[in-house]
Amino acid sequence: MPRQAYVDKFDRSMMGPSSGPSGNNVQLGIQPDYFADGSEPGVRVDGVVPNTAAADAGIKDGDVIKSIGGEKINSLDDFMTVMGKHKAGDKVKIDVMRDKQKMQLEATLRERKG
């Protein structure tokens, strides 16, 4: 299955048909690492989909997302909840850990395709 199709399927399965928990339809464009050992709070990025908000913001494989828009991300559930609060076009600050260094990136969220 192509990566984008996988990400789109994951988004729909986690967020319901075509919308987030609050009815929004946005995506960042990451594939989470489902096999991360969970020793570090956050969402470890296993893949970044090209031409998405995540790619444009500079998120990279191996980054650990710690917060989005000032809201802490301790788990994939937190990530999905926070993303569901936003709409396409929102600019959000994303705090990540990369190679044991804190970084702050900015992303403009986009509408989910598919």
H and E: helices and strands count for the chain: 3, 8
Structural domains of the chain ordered from first start: 3-111 (2.30.42.10)
List Cβ neighbours of 71 (8 Å cut-off, separation of 6 or more).
78, 82, 85
Averaged pLDDT, groups of 10, the chain, 114 residues long: 52 42 75 86 95 97 96 94 94 97 97 77
**pTM for the model:** 0.79
List Cβ neighbours of 98 (8 Å cut-off, separation of 6 or more).
60, 62, 63, 64
pLDDT, residue 114, reads 61
